[in-house]
Copies of this chain bind each other. A is one copy, B any other.
Amino acid sequence: MNAIARRQKHKAELKTQILEAARQIFVRDGYENFSMRKLAQRIEYSPGSIYLHFKSKEELFESLVEESFERLLKVVAGIQNGHAKQDPVESLKKGLRAYVDFGLRNPNDYRFAFMLRRPVQKRPYRVHPVFGVLRHMVGRCVEEQRFRAVDVESTSQALWAAIHGITSLLIQRPTFPWVGRKELIDQVINNAVDGLAVMPGSEEKATAGVRHAQFNRVPATSTARSRS
Contact = CB atoms under 8 A, between A and B. Distances in A.
Interface of A: 114-116, 118-119, 121, 125, 127, 148-155, 157-158, 160-166, 168-169, 172-179, 183-184, 187-188, 191-192, 194-196, 199-202, 217-225
Nearest to A123: B175
Contacts of A179: 151, 153-154, 157
A201 B98 CA distance: 34
Contacts of A116: 115-116
Q: Which 6 A-B pairs have the closest CB atoms?
A: A165-B165, A161-B165, A161-B166, A195-B195, A201-B201, A149-B220
Contacts of A121: 174-175
Contacts of A178: 157
A152 B223 contact: yes
Given A125-B175, A217-B150, A162 B162 contact: yes
Contacts of A154: 179, 183-184, 187, 218, 221
Contacts of A183: 154
Nearest to A202: B201
Nearest to A154: B179
**Which of A151, A174, A201 has the largest count of B CB atoms less than 10 A from its CB?**
A151
